[in-house]
Chains A and B, each alone.
Chain A
């Protein structure tokens, strides 16, 4: 019977199995990334050579220099940092607020509005692009950062609202009740009790939003006209040639460097996922 195996042995077996699975998954996940690094140091001919070489024969560090020379990446980075920060903060705050409304309060029309919220994710953007563009144009927001910032502060997108809502719904009602008994109004309850209870989610939303805004090139590309306003992700497109003459080494070099900031931030922040803080003290 299983009971005869001691706890420490079963724990060790568990660790080994986990280790193997994670190891395989790690290789699968990380390999394309390693390949990007490898390709970024190769000439175009070597990048497509066969059999494939992991370590480049003649590392071309010039790919980095030449790739970044294709556009003013310094300016792009400044722009992207600004835009990403503003949008991420706006998303985390406003999506939490809106989600709380959907999660905690019943009112006439709340079901229909929730359906509308979900519906906004279901219509492919290609068909709303032109009317939306026209709208932003009439509001004078074309060639500005507003088309990116405004949606971030007005709810931050259905995805994040939906996510927060799910977590709010799974909080025990006792949390609310305890607060109300203490005489707190809804905002105080929300800000001081509910919000701290979902720190892992807030962090998740923050990180996902950061990544999304950093990498988003579609919306900025559509609405921005002045090159000096472009973001890093648009800059990466400058390395893509439409006639098939893309210098793949340079492109990978730039792609690599542009994803490093996000990677570093993620690595630093993900520690806090560990602290799955939960008001388990209420359960008694």
Chain B
């Protein structure tokens, strides 16, 4: 059992530490990697991160733990309260000027990949003799490698989605509960039964979560681009199918079309009984379940829908740490990154508060077993599906293609254009963008 292994691992690690004393790098001697480091780190360590919600609080708490364990190290922590436009500008300016932190928060789906500002972590991993696959939760690590195999950062945690639904509404409109493996095209069938009312009394089958655009890319069965990011597949039939479905869902009011949906959270639509389903991300599970309970909604859960080929459509939003090339204290930076990700159990537990932690053991134990609310929900819903979840397809450098996709969606759903035509016009634009990306220039 992993728990037993963990105990042995800790004992082994401690004895190795005792033997090796406090100097130099230490070899992680067990594959469970839960040694708590007592390497004497000195000098300064400057950490930059973004955000202001529970996730940011968790990061802060984890850093506090790290500081306590390394009293000789002077850690300064800069936090930029919003992600989005201000982080982009501040981080870009600082990175370009070479004045950013030693360790920067990064997210393969949002900001950081392929920016050339980060150190390749492979040499550090190798030097420590760690096998990352043994210690990191499967499904979290892959996207941190760029197309050339460079390891840009290490994951902290990630969140994917689960489909929450309102049992009462399903009963009321006479629809059977969606079972695991249900297909997204079914929304166009029984989804229609939920359509009623008008204006403020409208009811929908599913709320338009902000993640919807990213999910729908996969709805026709294809992927938006090749695995090595060299070619885009946005001209394929599966994309046309996906857009056709999307158009149908919105035009028949199975899903609300409100572009300003983000000004009224989709969650509110769900917990006030106006939308029967809601793709619930791990980061909002607490809030959604509590709100649903408060409003007396009978909530249940199932897997995310599948594409025509039976593959589950799920995306994940991840966060990690990276080391900048201008880092002044590489040893401390590496220790911090390593410990945040998987090597420090205390810090890992804090990660587990806000998402599937990168620490494999904790993911399968503490995180998975966390129950939320009184509705029979625990996080195994997430851990069981994370390995199938795609990273947000349009993050980071791919944002320019993502914006074209958004425009395509809007043309089809808001202006009612023909999906085949929209794809024909825009696929070449996306292909051009892909050709211009820096990581494709070398080829």
The judgment on whether A and B are partners is yes
Q: Which A residues contact B (CB, under 8 angstroms)?
A: 44-45, 48-51, 70-71, 126, 129-130, 133-134, 137, 142, 218, 221-222, 225-227, 234-235, 237-245
B372 on the A face (CB < 8 A) = no
B48, B93, B272, B284: the one contacting A243 at CB < 8 Å is B284
Known: A45-B291, A48-B268, A245-B283. A70 touches B93 (CB 8 A): no
Contacts A/B (CB < 8 Å), 27 sampled:
A45-B272, A48-B264, A129-B93, A130-B96, A133-B94, A133-B96, A133-B97, A221-B86, A221-B90, A222-B89, A222-B90, A225-B78, A226-B78, A235-B81, A240-B52, A240-B82, A241-B53, A242-B82, A242-B84, A243-B281, A243-B283, A243-B284, A244-B210, A244-B267, A245-B53, A245-B54, A245-B283
- A227 cross-chain contacts in B, Cβ below 8 A: 77-79
Shortest beta-carbon distance from A220 to chain B in Å: 11
Pairs A-B, 5 closest by C-beta atoms: A237-B81, A242-B83, A133-B93, A225-B78, A238-B52
Shortest beta-carbon distance from A235 to chain B in Å: 8
- B272 cross-chain contacts in A, Cβ below 8 A: 45, 49
A235 to B79, CA, bound (A): 11
B198 on the A face (CB < 8 A) = no
CB contacts under 8 Å to A, within B286-337, are 287, 291, 294-295, 317
Shortest beta-carbon distance from A246 to chain B in Å: 8
A142 to B93, CA, bound (A): 12
A234 to B86, CA, bound (A): 11
Most buried by B among A218, A241, A242, A243: A242
- A239 cross-chain contacts in B, Cβ below 8 A: 52
B369 on the A face (CB < 8 A) = no
A51 touches B294 (CB 8 A): no
CB contacts under 8 Å to A, within B260-278, are 262, 264-265, 267-268, 271-272
What is the chain B residue whose CB lies nearest that of A239?
B52
B287 touches A245 (CB 8 A): yes
- B79 cross-chain contacts in A, Cβ below 8 A: 227
- B52 cross-chain contacts in A, Cβ below 8 A: 70, 237-242
- A225 cross-chain contacts in B, Cβ below 8 A: 48, 76, 78
B54, B76, B97, B294: the one contacting A134 at CB < 8 Å is B97
B99 on the A face (CB < 8 A) = yes
Q: Which B residues contact A (CB, under 8 angstroms)?
A: 48, 50-55, 76-84, 86, 89-90, 92-94, 96-97, 99, 200, 210, 262, 264-265, 267-268, 271-272, 281, 283-284, 287, 291, 294-295, 317
- A235 cross-chain contacts in B, Cβ below 8 A: 81
Excluding A70-B52, A133-B99, 13 further A-B contacts by CB distance (< 8 Å) are A45-B291, A130-B93, A133-B93, A137-B99, A226-B76, A235-B81, A237-B82, A237-B86, A240-B52, A241-B52, A242-B53, A242-B82, A245-B287
- B90 cross-chain contacts in A, Cβ below 8 A: 221-222
A243 to B81, CA, bound (A): 13
What is the chain B residue whose CB lies nearest that of A242?
B83
A222 to B267, CA, bound (A): 32
A45, A130, A137, A226: the one contacting B268 at CB < 8 Å is A45
Known: A50-B200, A126-B89. A134 touches B96 (CB 8 A): yes
- A130 cross-chain contacts in B, Cβ below 8 A: 92-93, 96-97
A85 to B94, CA, bound (A): 28
A239 to B51, CA, bound (A): 9
Most buried by A among B82, B92, B287: B82
- B96 cross-chain contacts in A, Cβ below 8 A: 130, 133-134
- B92 cross-chain contacts in A, Cβ below 8 A: 130
